Amino acid sequence: MSNHLRNEETPPAHVALVTGASRGVGRGIALSLLASGFRVYGSGRSIEQADLPPEIRRQRCDHLNDDETAGVFDVIRSGSSGLDLLVNCAWGGYEKMVEDGKFTWAAPFWEQPAHRWTGMMDAGVRAAFVCSAQAARMMTPRRRGLIVNISFWAAQRHLGNTIYGIAKAATDKMTSDMAVELQPFGIPVISLYPGLVRTESVLEAAKSGVFDLATSESPEFIGRVINALFHDPNLLARTGQVLVAAAVAKELGIVDVDGTSPPALSLADI
């Protein structure tokens, strides 16, 4: 058989967009999906300076700007046959945690700086909503796809500050309701909780003993879980659910990049 025929029979790569792919969890997801064979688009405000391989298609975007967000999806439309996977990871909630020498992250809601609402609700929840709407317009005609919203346990108990809890609870509710409206098209929507992830900021904080990394996850781990979910034949049965990445990994036989199996944290652990 000729190389030409073999190439024609090779199925096209699935197409994924990871928002907030410049660093942290988003960067790890983008790297992991690329390694799993996806054609990956990564968006973010600083994506052009990100430490990413050239195979990841970088789309500079401030997801607070709807026109810039629409432009990202226009690029995907023009450069591929469709969008198979959206991972909403864009998030501005961890910026400026210390201001004028004061740690404002854990301040009561009446002392929270206004920018934290913008970072969590607008750059986080609203950005995920707008991206999901754009993705749904591409996915519904093909009647396939997957939307993953990265969330956390703050949706279910007070962690850190009130705005954080509002944002994560809103993300999980958004997942649940979007799932209802997309189920007739066979498109699942899930909220996925990471554990303690060895992002750049966590590694820096660990130097001073803030975090115990013994049970932590690599940034690529949750991308491995997303890939496994994407290929799970029973994925639609999970739509609208909140899933803990490490628990899904144990169920589907996924390990971290170093071969370990991170523990699935529970609400009690948090």
Provide the annotated active-site residues: 164
Helix axis angle for 127-139 and 66-79, nearest 10°, is 30
Question: Do 106 and 152 form a contact (C-beta atoms < 8 A)?
Answer: no
Q: Which of 180, 221, 174, 213 is nearest to 25 (CA)?
A: 221
Beta strands in 63-182 (DSSP E): 85-88, 98-99, 102-103, 146-150
Distance CA 94, CA 81 (A): 35
Using the structure block, give the residue that is written with the tokens 């003993």: 209
Question: Do 256 and 224 form a contact (C-beta atoms < 8 A)?
Answer: yes
Question: Do 122 and 170 form a contact (C-beta atoms < 8 A)?
Answer: no
Return the C-alpha torsion angle 214, 220, 224, 226, nearest 10.
110
Amino acid found at 48:
E
Using the structure block, give the residue that is written with the tokens 């391989």: 53
Amino acid found at 149:
N
Amino acid found at 229:
L
Using the structure block, give the residue that is written with the tokens 């899933």: 243
Question: Do 182 and 189 form a contact (C-beta atoms < 8 A)?
Answer: yes
β-sheet bridge partners, residue 16: 40, 85
